[in-house]
Structures are given as structure tokens and as C-alpha cells.
């Protein structure tokens, strides 16, 4: 999926607001994949987004989009940005707003209108695109914001908290749209506080904390890079106490605790644990009902890294 | 969906002129929704009625042309057009910066200078239209009593004032763009400019250079040059110059491009304001601090 040439490159980027460093020496890239930007509030996520779309200039380092400096017109022509704030041109209809933005990309008035209608229909707004934006629900407004980011056919899209305010169905739809973008040659950088939803969408993550890049890569890989952090998993089976006694003998097992109707097992390294557990489960009375990793998700990885 | 491959041949990006015109069109469209503009028709009717009443009371003591000139200058030239233009200009530029919707524009592959010029153009046109409509309303109000006009009704006054107010609209819109792009409280600065700087400068000698930092002074010079007023009318339009009214004769003709002419002063004012405004507007960054 991911092509060799980066679409977005951060190369040693530092951004100062007066004497406060919002970002310090950040380097990463985005190709034709979906990259999640993760960090707590105020750690520099929004600054990073605005640097990527050229709304801010880096104090040091370079931000490039498809090889061009992020603040150039060439770069801006290839970027789509869905901001996190909920303001639009309220008196206009959704289709008018998107068409207005397209006019600055060189679309004729008729072509802009046609394109805006196409995009909003694809985003599920076909029945409401001609209503005034001020009458829209949050989900509809989010679709309009997304529409203006996608309508001109960008190579790279930034989505700042795109799930905010959406109902579960709309979130699922949006996730589907985002997942489909790399197949069309579009790189995506998406930030969200809803980590489990982000996890379902992204190929890789970039973790930012206190203005610094904490880690980047696939979530599983990042977890693997923390051997000093015990993996935790939950097991459900019959004969829990006997199972706990059995597992406590195994080398990688650091601890076993019985929690109501399940065992919580801490592992230092996984080595052949899962092969042995499978073999054990095959002969265990009643079998193993459930094996669930408890800290292989994005939230756990992020939590460990921030600690 | 909406992607590079979907777009096919990429359209050519609009140039400076295309961007400015599109920005002007969009600004005009958005100005339609400003509620303050809804009261303009009502204000014009009130202006007409005011002129009608005042001319009725002044009948016999003042000439109709004289009254029209005084009302148009003091009512429109120094109050309605400046305030309407500054308000609309600030809303068009600063309003979008404050509510962040200008980010949508700044993300487009166009320069910010033509975006700003388009807004300036749109606000200037609307204000000029308001000014011209106001002159017509005043003229009709005073003209409803033809016996007051010793030399008969003089429709050329409408043209003269329309010209002056249009020039004023463009100049005030440039000042509004500067305040809006530069300050966090642009309306306060606009008030300071109109009430403070202009009033202060209006009381300086004709030769004072600071007059060129204002809009009213060159406008008044254009007006006096175009009207060729009686001494009394000149004094009513420019009370601070009563003692030095003779100096008016030494000033360059108003609509020439000669150094020191009011037209050149106004053009200089507009260019300087727009240059600074554009510089500030182009450097506007959206920092993490809230603009709300």
C-alpha cells in the first residue's frame, strides 16, 4: 500500500511560540498510508497539523509536501485539511461552501458545483447538501468539512479530530472513507482522542508528547519494543485456580491473578508462550474460553510510552 | 471518491485577478447576510424624511443646494459612509480571522493578497452604493421643495457627492482592511482613527503634512474643488479653514495626478493601507492560542 516516496516529510522541525517550544526536532513522514497522530491535549498535535498544511511556518527544519515546501502554492494544491473547529460559512448550503472553496483551485463555477455535489453525495449528504449549514447536525457539518478537504483531489489529507461529535454509525462510515483513501493514492494523517477508533483506522502511529516525537511505527511493533513492560492478558476457562497454578510455573509468566471469572496473566516476553498455551488449552478440561490481550492496544502503548 | 485520480486533469489555478474577483464575489455574497445591511433601506427612507423636514424648517433662510451640500457632507461624508465602511470592512476581514473560517481560504493554492483585495473591493462597492443612495435620498428630500433652489434643481450635486463618497468608501475600506488585519480590536482603532486622528488633523493648518494621514481632508478638498462653492458654503463645509480659506486657491486641482493633489493623497493613503494590511494578512498565523 505504502509507496517509497514520502508525501509528507517533517525534517527536524522545531516550532517556537515566543520562548515556548511547541515542537522540538520532530522528524517523520507519511506515504500512501493512514498515519495516526496521538498525543494528549497541548502537546503540539495541532501545531504539527498546521505546520503540515502551511498555516504555520517552522522555526527550524523543513516541512515538505510532495517535495515542495509546505507553505508554497504547489504544496497547498495537494493538501486537504479537515480542521477540528466547528465553524463554517453558516448562511451557505453545504454544496455552496464546498464549491466556493473549489473555485480557488481553478474549477469553473459549473465544475465546482458538480464536483461539490459529487463529493457530498459520496459522503452521505445527498439529501441535505442544499440546506443551510446553520441547520446541519454535527455529523453533517463534519461531512462538509471533510468534503472541502477532499473535493479538489488532494494527494495528502490531514484530519484533525474527525470523529468528534459523530454518532457511532457516522464514525463507522468515516472510518471506512478514511481506510479507502490510500488505495486511491492519498496519504492520510489523522489525529483523534478516541484511540480505539484510531487504532481501527491507522496503519501506523506517530506518538507526540511534550513537543517531542515519542515513537512512530505500527502499534504491534511499538509494543514489541518494550520488553521491560509485561504483556497482560485475560484468560477464561474452567478450573481457574488449577490453571493459575500451572501457568505460574512457566518461565515467561511474571504473575497470575484470579479476577472473578477470569485470570489475568502478566508475561515478560512472549517467546513460545502462546504455543504452549494452545497445547495446554487443547487438553484442559472444558478448554480455554477466551484469550484477550489487555495492553497491546494503542491506548496501552501510548500510556507506557508517556510514563 | 475524491482523490487525485478522480480529479483527472487538474484545473489551472486562478491568477491574482481571478482570485481577487472571486474573493470579491464571495464577500459580496456573504455581506448579504449581514443584518446591519437590512436597515439600509429604512435608513434611506429616514434620510429622505429628515431632509424633507429640515428643508421645510429652513425654507427662506437657506438655499436648497447649500442645504443639500451641507447635509450630504456632514451626514454622509463624515458619518454614514465612514462608519458603514469601517464596520463592514472589519467584519469582512477580521470576522473571518476571529472565527477561523479564513483558514479555509488560507489552505487554498492562492496568495492572500488577492483574497484581501477582493474583500476590500467588495466592501468599497457596497459602501459606495450606500453613499450614493444616501445622496439621492437627501437630494430628493430637499428637492421636494423646488422653491428653495434659487438657481433651480441641480442634479449635478448628486454626481459630485457620489464621486466624493465613492472615493471615501474605497479609502475607508482600505483603512478597515488595515485595522482588521493588524489589531485584535479593529473597531476601537477605527473609532480612534475617525474621531481622534481625523478630528485632530482637521484642526491643523492646511499646510500640515499630517492632514495627508486622513481621508476627510483630501475628500473635502475634492468636494470644494468640484463644487466651486460660495464663501459661505466653503466655510460651512470646512469650518476650521474660515481664516485661511484663501489658501484653497493655491492648492493643486483635485482630480489630477499632480503631487499634493487630493487624488494623489487618497491613492497614496489607500496603497499604503493596503500594503500594510496585506503584509499583516499574509503573515497571519494560527497559533495554538485561542482567537475566540
How do the domains of chain A map onto residue ranges? 8-219, 231-306
Q: Does domain A8-219 have CATH number 3.40.50.300?
A: yes
- With contacts defined as CB-CB under 8 Å, which chain A residues touch B110? 73, 104
**pLDDT (mean) for A154-182:** 86
**C-beta atoms of B13 and A119 within 8 A:** no
**For B31, nearest residue in chain A (alpha carbons):** A91
Candidates B5, B12, B13; nearest CB to A73: B13
Q: Pick the residue from chain A with its C-alpha nearest to B290.
A: A85
**Best of A103, A111, A157, A159 to mutate (most B CBs within 10 Å, chain B):** A103
Q: CA angle, corner A168, sides to A166 and A170, nearest 5?
A: 55
Is the pLDDT at A241 greater than 60? The verdict is yes
| Per-residue pLDDT, A249 | 86
Cβ–Cβ gap A105/B11 under 8 Å? yes
What is the rounded average pLDDT for all residues in chain A? Answer: 86
Report pLDDT digits (tens) over A185-208.
899 999 877 677 788 888 988 988
Cβ-nearest to A177 among B1, B11, B108: B1
**In this predicted structure, what is the pLDDT of residue B5?**
40
CA–CA gap between residue A69 and residue A36 (Å, rounded): 22
Is the pLDDT at A1 greater than 70? The verdict is no
pLDDT of residue B245: 52
Question: Chain A contacts of B285, Cβ < 8 Å?
Answer: 50, 55-57
Write phi, then psi, for B32 (nearest 5 degrees). -55, -30
Residue B288: its pLDDT value, please?
Answer: 40
Contacts of A154 in chain B (CB under 8 A): 3-4
A245: buried, middle or exposed (CB in 10 Å: 19+, 13-18, 0-12)? exposed
Please report the ipTM that was assigned to this predicted complex: 0.84
Closest CA–CA distance from residue B21 to any residue of chain A (Å): 11
* CB contacts, 8 Å: A115 with chain B: 2
Separation between Cα atoms, residue B252 and residue B110, nearest integer Å: 41
How does B168-199 read in b/e, with b if 16+ C-beta sit within 10 Å? bbbbbbbbbbbbbbbeeebbebbeebbeebbe
Of B1, B30, B104, the CB nearest to A150: B1
Q: Which of B98, B183, B81 is nearest to B132 (CA)?
A: B81
Contacts of A216 (CB under 8 A, 6+ apart): A28, A204, A205, A206, A207
- Which of A215-219, A257-261, B266-270 is the most confident on average? B266-270
pLDDT at B283: 83
Inter-chain touch B110–A104, beta carbons under 8 Å: yes
Lowest mean pLDDT among A62-66, A120-124, A298-302: A298-302
Listed by number, the residues of chain B in 90-109 with a beta carbon closer than 8 Å to a beta carbon of chain A are 99-101, 103-109
Residues 1-60 of B with CB under 8 A from A: 1-7, 10-14, 19, 22, 26, 30, 32-33
pLDDT at B1: 46
Q: Which residue of B has its CA nearest to A184?
A: B3
Q: Which residues of A touch B106 (CB under 8 A)?
A: 55
Would you call A44 helix, strand, or coil by DSSP?
A: coil
Contact between A181 and A204 under an 8 Å Cβ cutoff? The reply is no
Q: Do A101 and B26 touch (CB under 8 A)?
A: no
A231-306: which CATH topology? Alpha-Beta Plaits (3.30.70)
CA distance A160 to chain B (A): 13
Contacts of A185 in chain B (CB under 8 A): 3-5
**Yes or no, beta carbons of B109 and A87 under 8 Å apart:** no
**How far apart, in whole angstroms, are the C-alpha atoms of residue B111 and residue A107?**
16
Quote the CA–CA distance of A67 and A75 in Å, as a whole number. 8
CB pairs under 8 A between A and B: 114
Residues in chain B: 292
Question: Is B101 in contact with A87 (Cβ distance < 8 A)?
Answer: yes
Taking chain B (292 residues) in runs of 10, the rounded mean pLDDT of each run is 49 91 96 84 93 90 92 93 94 90 93 96 97 96 92 93 97 96 93 86 71 84 85 79 55 73 91 95 64 36
Average pLDDT over residues A286-291: 82
Cβ distance B2 to A122 less than 8 Å, yes or no, reads: yes
Q: Quote the minimal CA–CA distance from A118 to chain B in Å.
A: 8
Contact A119 B1 (CB under 8 A): yes
Choose, out of A104, A112, A186, A191, the residue to mutate when testing the contact with B (most B CBs < 10 Å). A104
CA gap A292, B7 in Å, rounded: 44
Q: Tell me the chain B residues in contact with residue A89 when contact means C-beta distances shorter than 8 Å.
A: 30, 101
Which positions ≥6 away from B159 have C-beta within 8 Å? Answer: none
pLDDT of amino acid B248: 55
Residues of B in contact with A152 (CB under 8 A): 2, 7
Using alpha carbons, select from B240, B244, B264 the residue that is nearest to residue B254. Answer: B264
- Selected residue of A78, A106, A148 to mutate for chain B interface (largest B Cβ count, 10 A): A106
- Looking at chain A, the whole-number percentage of residues with pLDDT higher than 90 is 38
Amino acid at each position: 500500500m505504502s509507496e517509497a516516496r514520502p508525501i509528507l516529510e517533517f525534517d527536524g522541525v522545531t516550532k517556537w511560540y515566543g520562548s515556548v517550544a511547541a515542537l522540538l526536532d520532530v522528524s517523520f513522514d507519511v506515504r500512501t498510508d493512514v498515519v495516526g497522530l496521538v498525543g494528549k491535549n497541548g502537546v503540539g498535535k495541532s501545531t504539527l497539523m498546521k505546520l503540515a498544511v502551511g498555516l504555520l511556518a517552522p522555526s527550524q527544519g523543513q516541512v515538505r509536501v510532495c517535495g515542495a515546501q509546505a507553505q508554497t502554492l504547489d504544496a497547498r494544491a495537494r493538501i486537504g485539511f479537515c480542521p477540528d473547529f466547528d465553524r463554517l460559512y453558516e448562511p451557505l448550503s453545504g454544496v455552496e461552501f464546498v464549491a466556493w472553496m473549489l473555485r480557488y483551485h481553478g474549477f469553473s463555477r459549473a465544475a465546482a458545483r458538480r464536483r461539490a455535489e459529487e463529493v457530498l453525495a459520496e459522503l452521505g449528504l445527498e439529501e441535505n447538501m442544499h440546506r443551510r449549514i446553520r441547520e446541519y447536525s454535527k455529523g453533517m457539518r463534519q461531512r462538509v468539512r471533510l468534503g472541502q478537504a477532499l473535493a479538489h483531489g488532494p494527494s495528502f489529507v490531514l484530519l484533525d479530530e474527525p470523529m468528534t461529535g459523530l454518532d457511532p454509525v457516522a464514525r463507522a462510515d468515516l472510518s471506512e472513507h478514511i481506510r479507502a483513501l490510500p488505495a486511491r493514492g492519498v496519504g492520510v494523517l489523522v489525529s483523534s482522542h478516541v484511540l480505539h477508533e484510531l487504532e481501527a483506522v491507522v496503519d501506523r502511529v506517530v506518538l507526540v508528547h511534550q513537543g517531542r516525537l515519542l515513537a512512530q511505527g505500527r502499534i504491534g511493533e511499538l509494543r514489541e519494543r518494550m520488553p521491560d513492560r509485561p504483556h497482560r492478558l485475560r484468560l477464561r476457562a474452567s478450573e481457574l485456580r488449577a490453571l493459575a497454578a500451572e501457568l505460574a510455573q512457566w518461565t515467561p509468566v511474571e504473575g497470575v491473578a484470579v479476577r472473578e471469572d477470569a485470570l489475568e496473566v502478566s508475561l515478560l516476553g512472549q517467546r513460545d508462550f502462546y504455543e504452549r498455551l494452545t497445547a495446554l488449552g487443547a487438553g484442559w478440561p472444558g478448554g480455554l474460553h477466551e484469550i484477550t490481550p489487555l495492553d497491546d492496544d494503542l491506548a496501552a502503548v501510548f500510556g507506557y510510552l508517556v510514563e | 471518491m475524491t482523490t487525485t485520480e478522480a480529479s483527472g486533469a487538474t484545473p489551472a489555478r486562478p491568477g491574482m485577478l481571478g482570485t481577487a474577483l472571486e474573493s470579491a464575489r464571495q464577500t459580496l455574497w456573504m455581506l448579504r447576510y449581514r443584518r446591519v445591511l437590512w436597515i439600509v433601506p429604512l435608513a434611506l427612507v429616514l434620510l429622505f424624511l429628515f431632509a424633507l423636514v429640515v428643508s421645510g424648517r429652513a425654507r427662506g433662510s437657506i438655499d436648497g443646494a447649500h442645504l443639500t451640500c451641507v447635509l450630504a457632507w456632514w451626514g454622509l461624508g463624515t458619518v454614514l459612509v465612514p462608519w458603514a465602511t469601517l464596520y463592514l470592512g472589519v467584519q469582512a476581514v477580521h470576522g473571518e480571522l476571529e472565527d477561523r473560517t479564513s483558514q479555509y481560504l488560507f489552505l487554498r493554492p492562492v496568495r492572500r493578497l488577492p483574497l484581501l483585495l477582493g474583500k476590500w473591493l467588495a466592501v468599497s462597492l457596497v459602501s459606495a452604493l450606500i453613499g450614493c443612495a444616501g445622496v439621492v435620498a437627501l437630494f430628493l428630500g430637499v428637492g421636494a421643495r423646488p422653491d428653495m433652489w434659487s438657481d433651480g434643481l441641480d442634479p449635478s450635486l448628486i454626481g459630485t457627492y457620489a464621486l466624493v463618497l465613492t472615493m471615501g468608501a474605497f479609502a475607508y475600506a482600505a483603512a478597515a482592511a488595515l485595522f482588521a488585519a493588524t489589531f485584535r480590536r479593529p473597531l476601537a482603532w477605527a473609532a480612534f482613527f475617525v474621531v481622534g486622528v481625523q478630528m485632530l488633523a482637521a484642526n491643523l493648518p492646511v499646510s500640515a503634512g499630517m492632514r495627508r494621514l486622513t481621508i476627510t481632508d483630501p475628500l473635502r478638498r475634492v468636494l470644494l474643488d468640484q463644487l466651486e462653492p460660495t464663501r459661505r458654503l466653503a466655510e460651512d463645509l470646512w469650518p476650521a479653514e474660515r481664516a485661511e480659506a484663501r489658501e484653497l486657491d493655491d492648492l493643486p486641482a483635485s482630480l489630477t495626478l499632480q503631487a499634493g493633489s487630493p487624488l494623489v493623497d487618497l491613492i497614496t493613503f489607500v496603497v499604503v493601507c493596503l500594503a500594510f494590511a496585506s503584509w499583516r494578512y499574509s503573515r497571519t498565523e494560527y497559533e495554538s492560542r485561542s482567537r475566540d
